Amino acid sequence: MNQINRLKQIYVLLLKSSCSYYDIIVFFEKQNYAIGIRQLQRDFKELPTLLKPDETLVKYRNIENCIHFKIIKVKAKAPKKNVPMNHNITHSNFFNLLSVELMQINLTILQEAIIESKNILIKELKNDVTGDNHTFSQKSIELLPLKIIKHRGSIYLGGFNIKENKNQVFDILQLNKIQKKDRKSIYNLEEINDNFNTEMSNRFGISKNIDEETYKIILEFSKITGNFIQEHFWHESQKFTKNKNTFTMELDCGINRELIGWIFYWMYNCKIIAPDILKEYYIKSHKEIGNYIWTKHR
């Protein structure tokens, strides 16, 4: 039984009644189909893709302290009369895509491939956004799709490059002429997913790191900027220390283009304390920007 068929049966089951993991395992055993708890947990991560707009998956503990799940209908709350909704809200559209047609087409194919446990064949790659196509290769590649990632106004695909045996992340608008493809080999998906998650946790954002190292990154922010920075999520390792007139931020992650650009964003309100290699890349980037402007406009 493939994942999409399991998901459909779990969906129907949870619409009818609440169930624990054990209840669902027994349900499949009665069909002479064995499923492990880890596989079931992975299925539950994909289950929301089958839910209708007025449905939600609820998780709770019963009186015996056992975790149960149930799909319930959600009634939309009617807006209060005579109160205009979003009357004072406008959108800057900053970072939003100008055209979403190709994104929606690719997203549908990728979601189906993940649910149906299929690979994807990318016949052509355009540009480079994350550093995973830094050679600007346009050759066809086969990818085992793992994650759909929303990041900074766009949507990315995280996957495992089978031929090159490495994890890669692409903006889905980079993917041209993609198609689903049956898997000819059996993969240890749990191990592949774990390796992917570990690598992504070592990236600042989603850009490819300059090397395989994890660095102790220490940044110092002015008081006002630091107040803002500490109220937002940037990386799972982030730690802040409030000083008299500054904030110190510590990160344990790799160094990449996104980190350099993020530090540039804060200009003179941010100072790199460590490591030295980050200082060197920052200074090098600054010089190259200056040289480009000078060459371009002299």
pLDDT (tens digit per residue) in 80-117: 555 555 556 777 878 877 767 778 888 888 988 888 88
Q: Please enumerate, as own/partner, the contacts of 257-261 that have beta carbons within 8 Å and a separation of 24 or more.
A: 257/131, 257/207, 257/208, 258/203, 258/204, 258/205, 258/206, 258/207, 259/204, 259/205, 259/207, 259/217, 260/285
- pLDDT per position as a tens digit, 118-176: 999 998 888 888 888 766 666 788 999 999 998 988 899 999 998 899 999 999 988 88
Q: CA-to-CA distance for 30 and 39, rounded, in angstroms?
A: 18
Q: What is the pLDDT of residue 83?
A: 53
Pairing of β 55-61 and β 154-161: unpaired
Question: Residue 104 CA to chain centroid, in angstroms?
Answer: 17
Distance of CA 155 to CAs 97, 167, 169, 290, Å?
10, 17, 10, 31
- pLDDT per position as a tens digit, 23-47: 898 898 888 888 888 888 888 989 9
Enumerate the β-bridge partners of residue 147.
Answer: 158
Cis amide bond preceding 145, omega within 30: no
Q: Which helix (H) or strand (E) segment is 23 a member of?
A: helix 21-29
Residues shown for the chain: 298
Average pLDDT over residues 198-220: 96
Find the DSSP H helices in 118-275.
189-201, 223-229, 257-265
Average pLDDT over residues 190-197: 92
Q: Decide if pLDDT at 233 tops 60.
A: yes
CB 121 within 8 A of CB 181: yes
Average pLDDT over residues 9-14: 92
Beta strands in 18-87 (DSSP E): 55-61, 67-73
On the 0-12 / 13-18 / 19+ scale of CB atoms within 10 A, 192 is middle
Q: CA-to-CA distance for 206 and 256, rounded, in angstroms?
A: 9
Q: How many CB atoms lie within 10 A of CB 172?
A: 20
Mean pLDDT of the chain: 87
Q: How many CB atoms lie within 10 A of CB 261?
A: 13
295 or 228, greater pLDDT? 228
